[in-house]
Amino acid sequence: MNDTDSDQNALTVTTFTPAGKGSLIPVGGGVFKYTPNSGFTGSDSFSYSISDGNGGTSQAVATINVSSPPQLVINDGVVVAKSNPTQTITADDLLVTDPDNTPLEIVYTITKAPDATRGFVQRGSTFLNVGGKFTQDDINNNIVKYNLLAGGGGDSFTFTASDGSATIGPASFSITVVDNIVDRSALPASSFTGSNLSDFILGGAGDDTLAGGDGNDIIDGSGGNDVQFGETGNDSLVGAIGNDTVDGGLGNDTVDGEDGIDSLIGGLGNDLMFGGNDNDNLLGGDNNDTIEGGPGNDSILGESAEDSILGGTGTDTLLGGIGDDSLEGGAGDDILDGGVGRNLLDGGINNDSILGAESDDTILGGEGSDTGLGGAGNDYVLGEAGSDSLLGEAGDDTLDGGAGSDCLSGAFGNDLVLGGDDNDSLSGGAGNDIVGGGVGSDLLTGDAGDDFFYYETPSEGVDVIADFNPTGT
């Protein structure tokens, strides 16, 4: 507050009303800390009373104007060809918006410049280093450029963006360097194979067949139902719009289906794969792949080696294949099958069906009413939240129902079967098992073998042991 007293008496705030669109906290000395509600922009206010300590009082209203912070909408970087070393940075590459400010009022500041031996950023005729500034209006009018130096390679610069009252960042803007840029965006459906160097191939609106050839290539199918082959090299392939078939080939590739019902193959190498939107089929291939299905009902097979697979939203089917894999269903009623290897399987949200298959697996049901099957090996199966059905099958398994009314069976082997919370039905199965009811009124069955039972006090629930025979007869 900036209130004053004509007699120079010290003023204190005696009362105040809450703000209508945020939280208001007095921090002393007539200072308040105001935090707007999430997503709120506009005008807010509160009233307050002050006193000079000698009988003088007054009331006033304080108005607070909350503006929208700038938003980084696009930060895709640029691709620069060695044969054409000057590349304009456009609004399709870098875009910050703010409804409260014009593009001229959105100011970028470079906080880390490109490597001086590789290239530099230029605004008009001015070279920009650390502290250099340009506006969104400059970008919109094609004034900002990146200049590649002879012998330069991949690079980046770091920036912040401000509307004068709020600042975002720092964020990194990438510069990718290739030997050739092949723009076929204006052509009808066609076929093209790149050189033995690094190529950036841009397809058109038709159904294209594009191959990278040798070298580390970038292929963007753009529109249409395209077929893409990365072939040799560490390639980046984007299906973009349409129902695309994309094969990374040999090398450590990045494969992104984006929109459409896509069929994606990683091939040989440690690949990074994204299904994008819609219902996609993804095959990792050999080596250690990281695969994310994204939105839609996806089918994902890691195949061989140690894969990390995330289904995303939708009803997904995840198959680990051969190797020690990590599978997470995400949101949706998913099916997870670890395959051969020691796997970590997490159903995520909703009602999932999870199979450990061979070896010693860890199975986490997550939220929802899940079905968990340990399979062969000594498995750890945790139902977590929801009413779950867990079966250890072969091996010495540990089963824990977690929260919810669960049904657990150790099946074969010497198992530890724990009900967790709520009213559970527990069966040890064949073997010498330990069966524990936990909280709730539980039904405990030892089945075949010499079993050990334990349960909570009656205040935690009354348990029933179905086949306890203390005499052994």
For all residues of the chain together, what is the average pLDDT?
92
Q: Which of 49-53, 124-128, 457-461 comes out lowest in average pLDDT?
A: 457-461
pLDDT above 60: residue 448: yes
Of 133 and 68, the one with more pLDDT: 133
Closest Cα to residue 33, out of 50, 49, 16? 16
Res. 108: pLDDT tops 60: yes
Mean pLDDT, residues 268-275 taken together: 97
> 473: pLDDT confidence band, cut at 50, 70 and 90?
very low
User: What is the pLDDT at residue 53?
Assistant: 83
Residue 472 pLDDT: 47
First to last CA, the chain: 86
Q: Which two tokens stand for residue 312?
A: 């995303």
Stretch 133-139: mean pLDDT, rounded? 99
Mean pLDDT along residues 393-400 = 93
* pLDDT tier at 331, thresholds 50, 70, 90: very high
At residue 176, what are phi and psi to the nearest 5 degrees?
-105, 130
Residue 59 confidence (pLDDT) above 80: yes
HEC string of the chain equals CCCCCCCCCCCEEEEECCCCCEEEEEEECCEEEEEECCCCCEEEEEEEEEECCCCCEEEEEEEEEECCCCEEEEECCEEEECCECEEECCCCCEEEECCCCCHHHCEEEEEECCCCCCEEEEECCEEECCCCEEEHHHHHCCCEEEEECCCCCCEEEEEEEECCCCEEEEEEEEEEEECEEEECCCCCCCEEECCCCCEEEECCCCCCEEECCCCCCEEECCCCCCEEECCCCCCEEECCCCCCEEECCCCCCEEECCCCCCEEECCCCCCEEECCCCCCEEECCCCCCEEECCCCCCEEECCCCCCEEECCCCCCEEECCECCCEEECCCCCCEEECCECCCEEECCCCCCEEECCCCCCEEECCCCCCEEECCCCCCEEECCCCCCEEECCCCCCEEECCCCCCEEECCCCCCEEECCCCCCEEECCCCCCEEECCCCCCEEECCCCCCEEECCCHHHCCCEECCCCCCCC
Residues 132/121, Cβ–Cβ less than 8 Å: yes
Q: How confident is the model at residue 314 (pLDDT cuts 50, 70, 90)?
A: very high
- How does pLDDT run across 203-255, given as a tens digit for each residue? 999 999 999 999 999 999 999 999 999 999 999 999 999 999 999 999 999 99
What is the band of 64 on the pLDDT scale with cuts at 50, 70, 90? confident
**What whole-number percentage of the chain has pLDDT above 70?**
98
pLDDT class for 287, splitting at 50, 70, 90?
Answer: very high
Q: Is pLDDT at 8 greater than 80 in this prediction?
A: no
What pLDDT is recorded for position 469?
62
pLDDT at 5: 65
The model's pLDDT over 352-364, given as tens digits with 9 standing for 90+, comes to 999 998 889 999 9
Evaluate if residue 144 carries a pLDDT over 50. Answer: yes
Task: Tell me the domain boundaries of the chain.
Answer: 12-66, 71-178, 180-465
Q: What is the mean pLDDT of residues 115-122?
A: 97
Q: Which CATH architecture has domain 71-178?
A: Sandwich (2.60)
